[in-house]
Amino acid sequence: MLHRWVQIVTLAYALSQLLALLPKEQLNGLCQWMPWRTAQPITAGRIRLGLHRILWRVSVRDWWNPKSRVFEPPDTPIADSRA
């Protein structure tokens, strides 16, 4: 089970690093949380914070079905999953 979490963490790290390479115009939605830093370069840390603010309600651990040993995302919208 540990190797799955290592892969998820590695993917999360790589995703923020790759998104930092995109042009600034394409990342305005992710970096709107820090308007005082608009003149500074977009870093992987700023992208990570933006993704965290968007995805903080997604409970990936609840998607794991131990019986069938697969991830099963819910059929309900994400906003309703932790209400």
- Please report the beta strands in the chain, taking only residues with DSSP state E, as ranges in sequence order: 64-65, 70-71
C-alpha to C-alpha distances, 14 to 35, 36, 64, 65, nearest whole angstrom: 25, 26, 23, 26
- The pLDDT value given to residue 83: 47
pLDDT, tens digit (0-9, with 9 covering 90-100), for 12-47: 788 888 888 888 777 777 777 677 777 777 778 878
How many CA within 13 A on the CB side of residue 61?
4
Mean pLDDT of all residues in the chain? 76
Q: Is the pLDDT of residue 68 over 80?
A: yes
